[in-house]
Amino acid sequence: MNLVVNNTSLFLAAMLVLVALAISLWQKLGLDKDIIIGVVRAVIQLFIVGYLLKYIFRVNNFWLTTAMILFIIFNAAWNAQKRGAGIAHALPISFLAIFVSTAVTLGVLVLAGAIKFIPSQMIPISGMIASNSMVAIGLAYRSLNSQFHDQRQGVLERLALGAGLMDASIAIVREAIRTGMSPTIDSAKTVGLVSLPGMMSGLIFAGVDPVRAIKYQIMVTFMLLSATSLGSIIACYLAYRNFYNEQKQLK
Amino acid sequence: MSALMTLANVNYQVGDNLILKDINLGVPAGAHYTITGPSGSGKSTLLRLMAAMISKTSGDLVFDGQPIESYDPIMYRRAVSYCFQQPTLFGATVADNLAFPYQIRKQAMDTEHVTAALEYVGLSAKMLTQKIEDLSGGERQRVALIRNILFLPKILLLDEVTAGLDTANKDIIHQWLRHLNQDRHVTTIMITHDTTEIDAADQLLRVVEGHLEVGA
C-alpha cells in the first residue's frame, strides 16, 4: 500500500480550503460561510461514516449490511424526490425505483461472482448504484415536470381524442427516461478518455495494477447503465399518472 | 325527441371565480348548434366541460341517458369529441396524426378509410407522408379535424375551428360539417365569431358573462 495520508498531511491539505475562501472574499462572492459550513460538514460526515463503516466491516453481519444499504437507498430517494416538486408520492416512487434498481443490479453482480456479499464490497457498490440512480431519477422528474408544462396543449389534444393516460403521455415519458439515462451513456462513451473514474482511480491509487483496475471499472459501467435505466423507467412509469386527476384530466 | 346531452343547473367555478352560471341546455341527437358570445364569456369552458376535459363544480350533465360521472372519461371522449382552435399536430408527418386514433384503439390504420377522409376535404393520399411543418393553416385544421372523425363520435364539439382560415378553406370545412351532421347524423356544437356562420346557424346560443342565452 502506498497510501500516505496522515493527520499532518491532511491538516496541511486543508490549506487548500483557504484558496477557495480567499477567492470568495476577494471576489465578494458571499460564499465564505457556505464554504466553512460545507467543509465542517464534510469532515464530520466522513469521520462518522469512516468509523461506522469500520464497525460494520468488522462485525460483518448480514442484517446490519442490509440495513446500511436500505439507509443509503432511503437517503438517495429523499434527495431524488426533491427534484420531483409537484409530483405526488415522489418519495415512495423514488424509494421503490432506487430499491429495485439497486437490488437487481447488486443481485446480478453477486450471482455473477463479480462481488461478494460482504459489507466492504456491498456497501460502496450500493452507494454508487443508488447515487447514480438518484441522479437519473432527479433528471427524469425535472424532464417530466418541464415537458408536461411545455407540451400541455399536445397532451390535452390527445386526451380529447380519447387517448388513455399512457397514450397521451408516452412521448413525454420516453423523453424523460432518455434524459435520466443520457449522462450515464455519455460517460460510458468517454470513460478513461476524459476522466479516470472513481472506482478505477481508487484502485490505482491503492496500488492495484491498472489492467486489473479497469476490469472493475468495466463492471461499474455495466452496473450504472442497468441502475439508471431501471431507476428512470420505474420512476417515470409510476410518476406520470400524478399529472392527471381521477377524472383523467390534466391537472 | 329526448336529448342526447342535457345540462341542468351546471356551474363551473375556479377559486372564487364563477365562470359558468346555472347552465341549462338540452341537445337533441342530430342537432347542429352554433355558440357565439364575447371573448372570455365562457364559451370554450362550456365546450371543454361537455368534452369531459374539465369537470363541472355543480349541476347535472347527462349524456345518452347516463350521468357523465358514470362513464369512463376515455370512452366518453371518444363519443363526445372535442376539436381545439389552432390544434397541435403530433409527430412528424400527417400519417402520424391520422394513425393516432387507431393506435389508441389498438388497431392498424385503415389507409382506405383515411384516404377517403382526406379526399373528402380536398386533400390527397400523397399528403400522408408530408411533414406537418410544411402544411398550410387550412390543411393543418383539416388534418386535425379528420383525427376527430375517423371513428365517428356521437357529438362533435368544435372550438372556432374556422378562425383565421380563408373563405375557400372555410367553405370546405362548412360543407364537410354539414355532411357529417346531415348524412352521418353526428350532432355538432360549434363555437364561432364568424358572422356568416352565425347567420347560417340553425340553432344559435349565446354565452354572455357565463350565462347561456338560447335562441338569442
pLDDT digits (tens, 9 = 90+) for B129-173: 999 999 998 899 999 999 999 999 999 999 999 988 889 888 989
A167: which chain B residues are within 8 Å (Cβ-Cβ)?
Answer: 103-104
Confidence of residue A197 (pLDDT cuts 50, 70, 90): confident
What residues of B are in contact with residue A249 (Cβ under 8 Å)? 52-55, 73
Q: Assign residue A100 a region: left if phi > 0, alpha if psi is -120 to 50, beta otherwise?
A: alpha
Q: Which pLDDT belongs to residue A199?
A: 83
Q: How confident is the model at residue A2 (pLDDT cuts 50, 70, 90)?
A: low
Mean pLDDT, chain A, rounded, equals 93
pLDDT recorded at residue A245: 95
CB contacts of B14 in chain A (<8 Å) are none
Beta bridge partners of B189: B33, B157
Range of lowest pLDDT (A145-149, A167-171, A213-217): A213-217
What gap in Å lies between CA B72 and CA B92, rounded to an integer? 30
pLDDT at B33 over 90: yes
pLDDT at residue A34 tops 80: yes
B3-87+152-214: CATH class: alpha beta
Q: Tell me: pLDDT of A76 over 70.
A: yes
Q: Does A160 touch chain B (CB under 8 A)?
A: yes
Partner residue opposite A167 with nearest CB, options B81, B103, B148: B103
C-alpha cell recorded at residue B182: 346531415
Is B11:B56 a contact under the CB 8 Å cutoff? yes
Mean pLDDT of A155-172: 97
pLDDT higher than 70, residue B43: yes
CA of B49, closest CA in chain A: separation in Å?
11
CB-CB under 8 Å, A158 with B101: no
Three-state DSSP state, B202: coil
Q: What is the pLDDT of residue A185?
A: 92
Q: Dump the DSSP string for chain A.
A: ------HHHHHHHTHHHHHHHHHHHHTT-S-HHHHHHHHHHHHHHHHHHHHHHHHHHHH--HHHHHHHHHHHHHHHHHHHHHTTTT-TTHHHHHHHHHHHHHHHHHHHHHHTTSS-SSHHHHHHHHHHHHHHHHHHHHHHHHHHHHHHHHTHHHHHHHHHTT--HHHHHHHHHHHHHHHHHHHHHHHHHHBTTTB--HHHHHHHHTT--HHHHHHHHHHHHHHHHHHHHHHHHHHHHHHGGGGB-TTS-B-
Mean pLDDT of the region A40-47? 93
Neighbours of B190 (CB within 10 A): 25
Q: What is the mean pLDDT of residues A225-234?
A: 96
Mean pLDDT of B192-200: 89
* Ranges of each domain in chain A: 1-59, 61-243
Predicted confidence at residue A205, as pLDDT, reads 86
> What is the rounded CA–CA span in Å between residue B42 and residue B154?
23
pTM, entire model: 0.86
A162–B101 C-beta distance less than 8 A: yes
- Which positions in chain B have a beta carbon within 8 angstroms of at least one beta carbon in chain A? 51-55, 73-75, 77-78, 81-84, 87-88, 90, 100-101, 103-104, 144, 147-148
| Region B74-102 average pLDDT | 95
C-beta neighbour count of B92 within 10 angstroms: 13
Give the pLDDT score at A3.
66
pLDDT of residue B215: 67
In the predicted model, what is the mean pLDDT of residues A70-75? Answer: 96
> Strand runs (DSSP E) across chain B, as ranges?
3-14, 17-28, 32-36, 58-63, 66-67, 80-83, 155-159, 187-191, 203-208, 211-214
Mean pLDDT of B83-106: 94
Q: Which residues of A touch B152 (CB under 8 A)?
A: none
A162–B74 CB contact, under 8 Å: yes
Domain ranges of chain B: 3-87+152-214
Q: Which residues of A touch B88 (CB under 8 A)?
A: 153-154, 157
A-chain CB neighbours of B147 within 8 Å are 161
Measured CA to CA, the distance from residue B56 to residue B68 in angstroms comes to 10
Write the CA distances from B9 to B21, B22, B189, B215, integer angstroms.
8, 4, 19, 18
- In percent, the amount of chain A with pLDDT more than 90 equals 78
Pick from B123, B98, B118: which is nearest to B108 by CA? B98
Q: What is the pLDDT of residues A116-125, one digit of tens each?
A: 999 999 999 9
For residue A189, give how far its alpha carbon lies from the nearest alpha carbon of chain B (Å): 29
Q: How distant, in Å, are the alpha carbons of B40, B58, B145, B173, B197 from that of B167?
A: 25, 40, 17, 10, 12
Does the structure show a pLDDT above 70 at B216?
no
The band of A70, judged by pLDDT with boundaries at 50, 70 and 90, is very high
Q: A154, B90: Cβ pair inside 8 Å? A: yes
Sequence-distant (≥ 6) Cβ neighbours of residue A17 within 8 angstroms: A35, A39
Contact A162 B83 (CB under 8 A): no
User: At B157, is the secondary structure helix, strand, or coil?
Assistant: strand
Chain B contacts in chain A segment 134-153 (CB below 8 A): 153
* Cross-sheet strand order for the sheet of B58-63: B17-28, B3-14, B58-63, B66-67
Q: What is the pLDDT of residue A8?
A: 87
